Amino acid sequence: MKYKLLATDMDGTLLQNDKKISSRNLNALESASKKGIEIVIATGRSYSTLKKYTNLFSFDCYLITNNGSIIRNKGHDVEKSVCLEPEATREIIKVLINEKVYFHSSDAENIYIQSYKARFSEAKRFLKHEYTNPVTLYKSLILKMIFDKNLKKINFHEFADQNISINTFFILSEQEGVLSKIKEQLNQIKGVAVTSSSSNNLEALSDKASKGTALSYVGEKLQIQKKEMIAIGDQLNDLSMIQSSGLGVAMANADKKVLEKADWVTKSNEDHGVAYVIEQLL
C-alpha cells in the first residue's frame, strides 16, 4: 500500500516527555513531506499552544485541534468548527462548578479560565517536564500569565448565560473517583461526548466532533482515501482516528485500549516512535 497521509497526535506521541519534538522525529516528518506525504497534526490541544511547534516545520499541514472540533487548513485558518450547543455548555459548567475541579474551556482563539491561581498551578504541573530548572519554570509561567493574549479570565456563572460558542472543556483531577463521577454526569447531557488524553483528565466536546471525523474530512478535502492514511496516537482521544485510518498505529506507551485496537505498534514517544513509523513504512 502506498500511503499518502500521516496523521499524528502530539503529547505522548510526537512529543517526548519533556514536551519537545526530537530532531529525529522532525527530520522524519520533513522527509515524508518532501516525498509527497501529507502531514496532519491531530491533537487535543488548542491552537495557541501549538504555534511554537508548527513554527519548527518547514512544510505546511492541516491542523486538527481541540480533539477534532476545530480544523485548520494549511494556512492555519479555521476551515471547520464544531461547537457545543449553548444549553450543553451551560449544563457542563454547572456540573464542573458543583464538583469544584479545575477546568478551562476553549474556542478557536482563546482559553477561558476561572482564576489565574488555578491556571498557574495547572500550567506548572504541565510544564515541569519541559523546564527542569525551577527559576526558568516560574519565569516562564509568570510571562505566560501576563502576556498570553489568548488566555481570558472570566466568570463562568455569567459566561454560561451569554450563549458563547465553546468547542471544548478540559477537566483535571488527580482523583480517579472524581473524574468517574463527572464523566457519568457529562454523559447524561444531550449532544456531549467525553474523552480523555491522560488518566488524570477528561475532555468534553460536541458528540458530532472527534479526531476521526475530522481526519475523514481532511482526507476528503485532499482526495485521499481511508486506506491511504496512517494515524498514530497513544490515548483514548486518538482511538477514533486510529480506527478511521487504513493503518492505525499505537505508540508503545499507549493506553491498553489503544494498543488492543491498533493495527500496528511502534516504539515509544521517548524512542522516536513517529520517526520509526516513517522509516519503516514510508
pLDDT value for 175: 87
Q: How many angstroms separate the most distant Cα atoms in the chain?
A: 53
pLDDT value for 174: 87
Per-residue pLDDT of the chain in tens (282 residues, 90 and over written 9): 899 999 999 999 999 999 999 999 999 999 999 999 999 999 999 998 899 999 999 999 999 999 999 999 999 999 999 999 999 999 999 999 999 999 999 999 999 988 766 555 565 555 556 656 665 655 565 555 555 668 788 888 787 677 778 999 999 998 889 999 999 999 999 999 999 999 999 999 999 999 999 999 999 999 999 999 999 999 999 999 999 999 999 999 999 999 999 999 999 999 999 999 999 998
- Taken in order of first residue, the domains within the chain and their CATH numbers are 5-82+209-281 (3.40.50.1000), 86-206 (3.30.1240.10)
* Cα gap 114→51, rounded to integer Å: 24
pLDDT value for 278: 98
pLDDT value for 116: 64
* Cα gap 248→7, rounded to integer Å: 10
111-113 and 151-153 strand pairing: parallel
Angle of helix 23-34 relative to helix 273-281, nearest 10 degrees, comes to: 30
pTM: 0.90
- Provide DSSP, the chain: ----EEEE-IIIIIB-TTS-B-HHHHHHHHHHHHTTPEEEEE-SS-GGGTHHHHTT-SS--EEEEGGGTEEE-TT--EEEE-PPPHHHHHHHHHHHHHHT-EEEEE-SS-EEES-HHHHHHHHHHHHTTT--SHHHHHHHHHHHHHH-TTEEE--HHHHTTTT----EEEEE-S-HHHHHHHHHHHTTSTTEEEE-SSTTEEEEEETT--HHHHHHHHHHHTT--GGGEEEEE-SGGGHHHHTTSSEEEE-TT--HHHHHH-SEE---GGGTHHHHHHHHH-
pLDDT value for 114: 85
